[in-house]
Structure 1
Amino acid sequence: MDKNKKVLNIIIEQGILPLYFHPDADVSAHVLKAMYTAGIRAVEYTNRGAEALENFLHLKKITETELPGLLLGIGTIKNKVQATEYINVGADFIICPGVIEEVAALVHKNDLLWVPGCMTTTEIIIAEELDAKLIKLFPGSLLGPSYVTALKEIFPDLLFMPTGGVDANKKSISEWFTAGVSAVGLGSKLISKHLMATKDYASIQSLTTEILQVVQSVRTTSR
């Protein structure tokens, strides 16, 4: 199986994609370990600070030595230069806030999963033409589950993952999955600034475990 398909399958099977950034490498590492212990096997670290690349390198080393089977991707990639930097240090997948053709070409060339951020049907059509399999719907807070229901009628073969509008509770997750999403992206609603600031990694772990159970429950109910 191609690596990009393997990564896609793991994200879909997991049902959620945690995403976060923290300027401190040690805090970033503890968060990663907490989620891994909870059962997470794919994580998006976001390129949202000057320390992101150095921290990513640190996390990648930890993944390779302590967290077998964990896929570490990078998000908030806005150009080819950024994509190249992270591909060179071992990113398992690349997530963009928009549809960037040169990034798509580079990622596909390296047999990695490319996940573009889309909001309109025009953007989704372009992403599909660029061979995207999973679409990040962003911002999910402005679109809502009913938008996914309408999209699935037009794009039945595409997989959708809303981000920035999913709450870490059964009601919100159920609404999105019932509408037809394949996974949900969870950032600050799962890994809050407060929990990272107080280094409450136990709460991050327990909440992540709870959300994984919610996803499985919702999927079983909606079948």
Structure 2
Amino acid sequence: MDNSGVEELFGGARLMAILRSMGVERSLSVAATAWDLGIDSVEVTIQSPEDVEALRAVAAAARERGKVVGAGTVLTPAHVTQAAEAGAAFTVSPGLDLDLVRASHDAGLPSIPGVATATEVQRALGAGLTWLKAFPASVLGTSWISAMHGPFPEARFVTTGGMSSANAGDFLSAGARVVAVGSALEDPAQLPRLAALLDRR
């Protein structure tokens, strides 16, 4: 269930946008803000039929701009099917469910499962997964990222939950490969600071 293909999807970008239950029009607007800023990867959470329609619309807009859209908060095989049919390129889950990862993999969508403990990281890596969602990142803290890289240097963490321009740089410095931001994209004061992070390697 190798998910190393996520690396190519992200293209080395350090930020990803998360659109959570915004509806179609607002999702399209915030996605456009992210793309215009230089954030190429967008995740649309799918917890309702309206969310799935938003994913479908954003995925269509992304194709026109050569961008990538994933489906977030994927909790069931039915969500995987909805994500694939709506045009998602990958899936993201809040927790580690290897059966769900397998269903996503079988649908042709690399899966990024959530982890919050060393046990979960080890189990995910043992299953061939290197890209992992550290969630909730603001609760885990930057020291968690640094600590996990000691025994698990091959892990590639996407930090999600409570991320903003105020702490994104700290998580990148701690070793996160990608920081996922949500509401920060709707705060004009944060946009210049987020843009400054895009060139970090």
| TM-score (ref. length: structure 1) | 0.80
Task: Name the CA distance, whole Å, in 1 between partners of 2:134 and 2:115.
Answer: 5
Which one is further off, 5-14 or 141-150? 5-14
TM-aligned CA deviation for residue 109 of structure 1: 2.3
Maintained 8 Å contact 2:42/2:68: yes
RMSD of the TM alignment (CA)?
2.1
TM-aligned CA deviation for residue 211 of structure 1: 1.1
TM-aligned CA deviation for residue 150 of structure 1: 0.9
- SS of the equivalent of 1:151 reads helix
Residue 145 of structure 1: which of 142, 146, 150 is its match? 142
Q: 1:23 to 1:156 in 2, by over 3 A?
A: closer
Maintained 8 Å contact 1:15/1:212: no
Task: Name the CA distance, whole Å, in 2 between partners of 1:126 and 1:6.
Answer: 19
Indicate the residue corresponding to 2:90 in structure 1.
93
Alignment of 1:116-135 (within 5 A): 116-135=113-132
Maintained 8 Å contact 2:44/2:71: yes
Alignment of 1:22-33 (within 5 A): 22-33=21-32
Matched, 1:155 2:164: no
Maintained 8 Å contact 1:173/1:215: no
Indicate the residue corresponding to 1:62 in structure 2.
61
- The aligned amino acid for 2:157 is F
- SS of the equivalent of 1:51 reads helix
Indicate the residue corresponding to 2:78 in structure 1.
81
Task: Return 5+ residue gaps in structure 1 as ranges.
Answer: 196-202
Indicate the residue corresponding to 1:214 in structure 2.
197
Task: Name the CA distance, whole Å, in 2 between partners of 1:213 and 1:38.
Answer: 10
Q: 1:22 to 1:13 in 2, by over 3 A?
A: same
Maintained 8 Å contact 1:79/1:102: no
Residue 174 of structure 2: which of 174, 179, 183 is its match? 179
Q: How many residue pairs get matched?
A: 199
TM-aligned CA deviation for residue 85 of structure 1: 1.5
TM-aligned CA deviation for residue 43 of structure 1: 0.4
- The aligned amino acid for 2:162 is G
Indicate the residue corresponding to 1:198 in structure 2.
none
Q: Find the structure with the greater CA-based Rg.
A: 1
- The aligned amino acid for 2:143 is S
Instruction: Write 1 or 2 for the structure with the bigger share of helix.
Output: 1
Moved over 6 A (4+): none
Indicate the residue corresponding to 1:17 in structure 2.
16
Task: Name the CA distance, whole Å, in 1 between partners of 2:22 and 2:140.
Answer: 30
Matched, 1:53 2:61: no
- The aligned amino acid for 2:38 is G
Taking only the aligned residue pairs, the percentage that are identical comes to: 25
Task: Name the CA distance, whole Å, in 2 between partners of 1:41 and 1:57.
Answer: 17
- The aligned amino acid for 1:33 is A
| TM-score (ref. length: structure 2) | 0.88
TM-aligned CA deviation for residue 9 of structure 1: 3.2
TM-aligned CA deviation for residue 52 of structure 1: 0.7
